[in-house]
Amino acid sequence: MHLKEYEEIKSECLNYLKKVGIQLSEKEKQNFEVADFGLGRIRKLGLQLVVYINTERYCAKELILLPRQTCPEHIHPPVNGSLGKEETFRCRKGTVYLYVEGPETKNPKAIIPDGYEAYLSVWNEVILQPGEQFTIPPNTPHWFQAGDNGAIVSEFSSTSTDENDIFIDPRINRIPVITD
C-alpha cells in the first residue's frame, strides 16, 4: 500500500472514531494499523485497527471497517500451547455481517468483492447491530463485512498473535507493507 493511501484511510478512520466519541491517545494514533492484506483493494478487502492492550493473557482492540469493507476469512490457530485466540466482537457503530461455521444462510447480506467467492467457505450469518456481540471460539473459520455505512467493533480476546493467523486466500500478507 502506498503511504498516501495509508494516510488517507487512517485519517478517515480516526475521524470516524472521533465522530462517535472514541478518543485515542497519541501513541494509539501512531500505532494505528491499516491492513490491505497485500491485496491492493483496501476499500473492498481490508481492516483498520488500534490495539489498546495485548498481554500474555488478554487483548482489547477497536476494529474499524469502511463501508462494505470485508476482512477476509481466517482462523486464529493454536500458538505456543494455547488453543488459539478466542474473541468477542461487540458492535459499537454500524452493522457487521459476521460469517462463521454452521448452517448456511440463504440470501446473505454481504456483497462479495468481485472475484473473491473462492476464498470464502463459511456462510452462517450473524448480524451485529450496536450493542450486540458474538464470541468466536478459537481455531474457527470466520470473516466479516461492514454494512453500507461502515462499522466499529470492539474486540475483546485472549492474547492476539495476528501474525500467526491463517487465511484461506494464500496471497494474503497479514503484516502491512507501506511504500512511498
**How high is the pLDDT of residue 62?**
98
Q: What are phi and psi of 95, to 5 degrees?
A: -125, 140
How far is 8 from 168, CA to CA, in rounded Å? 28
**How high is the pLDDT of residue 177?**
80
> For residue 179, is it within any domain?
no
Let me know the angle formed at the C-alpha of 86 by 178 and 128, rounded to the nearest 5 degrees.
80
CATH code of residue 73: 2.60.120.10
> For residue 176, is it within any domain?
no
> For residue 177, is it within any domain?
no
Burial label, 103 (beta-carbon count in 10 A; 0-12, 13-18, 19+): exposed
> For residue 45, is it within any domain?
yes
> For residue 162, is it within any domain?
yes
Q: In total, how many domains does the chain have?
A: 1
**How high is the pLDDT of residue 178?**
81
* pTM, 2 dp: 0.95
How far is 131 from 123, CA to CA, in rounded Å? 23
**How high is the pLDDT of residue 175?**
77
Q: Which domain holds residue 8?
A: 3-167
**How high is the pLDDT of residue 71?**
98
50 close to 62: Cβ distance less than 8 angstroms: yes
**How high is the pLDDT of residue 174?**
81
> For residue 150, is it within any domain?
yes
The parts of the chain modelled with pLDDT lower than 50 are none
> For residue 82, is it within any domain?
yes
Q: Quick one: how far is CA 91 from the chain centroid?
A: 12
How far is 151 from 78, CA to CA, in rounded Å? 28
> For residue 58, is it within any domain?
yes
Q: Quick one: how far is CA 19 from the chain centroid?
A: 20
How far is 82 from 127, CA to CA, in rounded Å? 29
